[in-house]
Amino acid sequence: MRISSSIDRATLRRAVFAVAATVSLAIYLWPGVSIAASEVSDTTVEFQGHKLHLLTAGPSKGRAVLLLHGAKFDASTWQQLGTLGVLADAGYRALAIDLPGSGTSPGWKLNPKTFLAELIGALEIGRPVVISPSRSGNVSFPLILDHPERVSGWVPIAPVGVKEYAGKLKESPVPALIVWGERDQLFPPALAKTLAASFKTAEIVILPDAKHPAYLDQPKSFHAALLKFLAGLGD
C-alpha cells in the first residue's frame, strides 16, 4: 500500500494528538460507564476563513448547549464520554467544537475576546449554555464578561482565568454551574468559591475524588448536575 506524501506534518500531528486524547480518555473513564447512543453528526462550518470541525446531536429546535474542551482533549471527548447523547436524549441541541488547532480543526490566530461571540452568531444557535473546561476559559471568560446577553448559562469546569476575571465580573447576571474536582492539583477547589462570588446566581458542584478534568472521573455525577442545572433555566 502506498501512502500519499501529501499529508503535511501538521495534519499528522493532529492525528497523533487525537489518538493520544482517546487513550487519555479511556484511562480516565471508569469501567462500565454507560454511553448514550443518540445519533451524532460530524460536520465542519466555514468560520473566520477556516473550516471549524464540530459534532452535533439532538433536536435542532432544542436549547443549544455549546461544549468546549481542555488542552488535552477535543470535541470527540464529549461523544466518547456520552455527554452529547445524554444532552440529546434530554431534548437539548448539543454542539461540541474542536477549538482552532485541536482535533481536526486547523490552527489559526484567534481573538479570544471576540471568538465565541462571533461563533455563536455564525452557528445561529440563539443564546446557548456554554460548557467550558480548563484552557477554554481563555475564550469563555471574555464572552461572559463582555457579552452576557449572548448566553443563557455557563458551566465552567475548573477554568483557566479565575484570578484574572473573577473581580471583573461583578455580580454577572449569567446563571452559572461551577464544577470542580475535589482532588484538582492544578487549580485548587477553593477557587470555585472565588468564582461563584462573581455571579448573582451560581451553584458549586465539587465532584468527589475527581482530579482536574473532573467530568472524566465522575461522568454520571457530572451529567446529573448538568441536567439539573439546564432544567432550572428559564426560556
| Residues marked as catalytic | 134, 184, 212
Rounded to an integer, what is the distance from CA 44 to the centroid of its chain? 17
H or E stretch covering 178: strand 176-181
Residue recorded with cell 488542552: 71
Instruction: Quote the Cα angle for 193-143-130, to 5°.
Output: 70
Q: What is the 3-state secondary structure (H, E, C) of 101-146?
A: CCCCCCCCCCCCCCHHHHHHHHHCCCCCEEEEEHHHHHHHHHHHHH
